Amino acid sequence: MSDKKQILDVQNIHMRFNSKGVCVRAVSGVSFTVNEGETIGIVGESGCGKTTLGRCIVRAYEPSEGNVLYTASDGETIDFLKIDKATMKRYRKEIQMIFQDPYSSLDPRMTVLDIIKEPLLANFPKMPKAEMERKVMDIAAKVGLNTAYLKRYPHAFSGGQRQRIGIARALVLNPRVIVCDEAVSALDVSIQAQVINLLHDLQQEFGLTYLFISHDLSVVEYISDKVGVMYLGQLVEYAPTEKLYEHPMHPYTESLLSAVPVADPEAQMERIPLEGEIPNPANPPSGCYFHTRCCYCTERCRQEAPVYRELEKDHFVACHRAEELKLKGFSYE
Ligand code: SF4
Chain centroid offset of residue 90 CA: 23
Poorest-pLDDT segment among 1-5, 104-108, 132-136, 167-171: 1-5
Please state, for a pLDDT cut of 90, what percent of the chain lies above it. 78
What's the rounded Cα separation, in Å, for the pair 206 and 329?
Answer: 33
User: Which residue among 296, 307, 317, 325 has the greatest number of ligand 1 atoms within 8 angstroms of its CB, and so is best to mutate?
Assistant: 296
Q: Which atom of ligand 1 is nearest to the CA of 288?
A: 4
What's the rounded Cα separation, in Å, for the pair 92 and 98?
Answer: 14
pLDDT at 332: 62
User: Which residue among 231, 320, 323 has the greatest number of ligand 1 atoms within 8 angstroms of its CB, and so is best to mutate?
Assistant: 320
Name the band, by pLDDT with cuts 50, 70 and 90, for residue 2.
Answer: low
Pocket of ligand 1 (CB under 6 A): 250-251, 288, 290-291, 294, 296-297, 301, 306, 319-321
The CA 55 to ligand 1 mean position distance, Å, reads 28
pLDDT at 54: 96
Name the band, by pLDDT with cuts 50, 70 and 90, for residue 1.
Answer: very low
pLDDT tens for each residue of 75-115: 999 999 999 989 998 899 999 999 887 678 889 999 999 99
What's the rounded Cα separation, in Å, for the pair 19 and 77?
Answer: 35
Residues ≥6 apart with Cβ < 8 Å to 114: none
Poorest-pLDDT segment among 2-11, 157-166, 269-278, 311-320: 269-278
- What's the average model confidence in pLDDT over 197-224? 93
- What's the average model confidence in pLDDT over 240-255? 96
Residues ≥6 apart with Cβ < 8 Å to 324: none
Would the pLDDT of 272 be above 90?
A: no
pLDDT at 295: 93
Closest by CA to 35, choosing from 206, 225, 313, is 225
pLDDT at 124: 92
pLDDT tens for each residue of 28-77: 999 999 999 999 999 999 889 999 999 999 999 999 999 999 999 999 99
Sheet containing 315-317: which strands, arranged edge to edge?
Answer: 95-98, 177-181, 209-213, 39-43, 226-231, 234-240, 315-317, 309-312
Name the band, by pLDDT with cuts 50, 70 and 90, for residue 264.
Answer: low
The CA 182 to ligand 1 mean position distance, Å, reads 28
**What stretches of the chain adopt beta strand conformation (E)?**
6-19, 22-35, 39-43, 65-71, 77-79, 95-98, 177-181, 209-213, 226-231, 234-240, 309-312, 315-317
What's the rounded Cα separation, in Å, for the pair 305 and 68?
Answer: 25
User: Which residue among 252, 299, 321 has the greatest number of ligand 1 atoms within 8 angstroms of its CB, and so is best to mutate?
Assistant: 321
Sheet containing 65-71: which strands, arranged edge to edge?
Answer: 22-35, 6-19, 65-71, 77-79
| Mean pLDDT (the chain, rounded) | 91
Name the band, by pLDDT with cuts 50, 70 and 90, for residue 186.
Answer: confident
